[in-house]
Amino acid sequence: MTRPTLPLLPTALLLASLLSGLLFGGVAAAYTLEEFEFDSPAQQEQFRELIGKLRCLVCQNESLAGSQAELAQDLRNEVYEMMRAGQSEDAILDFLVARYGDFVLYDPPLKPSTYLLWFGPFVLIGIGAVVVIRTLLSKKTTPDQPVTEADRARIDELLNADQTADQTADRTADRD
């Protein structure tokens, strides 16, 4: 019984990806490990919750807690320093909103300047639904019109002419 062998190229690609994962995975993990000293586990949890509520201004789809951008690191350090200075969560959030706008919050407040952010997706879905419905309704089929006697006569004439031509062709083919 022979052992099945893997093709060389997929094996080499698998080996290369495993090796690169081992080499560079440690670098990424080392970069994300941040050591902040807190007086209590409650303060550490408050810090984690707070940086989870804030958006990375570079990545835009990640929180400060998950982002590896340099600006995110700076903002985490700033939040940490403000917490160590005894500022409340609301004071820290107010400072960051004043500096960077409501965009820094993952859950921005509902106010006139954020209406588009909150209601824009629903408006677009509504517009899309109206367009689809109007398109479907406008494509109604036209009702069938009855065939008139003149139309029937013309159809019969064309069919008879076609049959006559076929019969003539058959006779010609039989002679050859």
Name which of 118, 101, 113 is nearest 54 in CA terms. Answer: 101
pLDDT of residue 29: 39
Q: Show Cβ contacts of residue 56 under 8 Å, excluding neighbours closer than 6 positions.
A: 62, 63, 64, 66, 67, 69, 71, 72, 75
Least confident of 21-25, 70-74, 92-96, 135-139: 21-25
Residue 56 is classified by DSSP as: -
Does this model's pTM top 0.85? My answer is: no
pLDDT averaged over every residue in the chain: 80
Instruction: Read off the pLDDT of residues 107-159 as tens digits, 9 standing for 90 and up.
Output: 888 888 888 888 999 999 999 999 999 988 887 666 678 888 998 999 888 88
pLDDT band of 19, cuts 50, 70, 90: low
Domain 30-107's class? Answer: mainly alpha
Segments making up each domain of the chain, as ranges: 30-107, 110-138
CB 85 within 8 A of CB 47: no
Looking at residue 2, what is its pLDDT?
56
* Higher per-residue confidence, 63 vs 126: 126
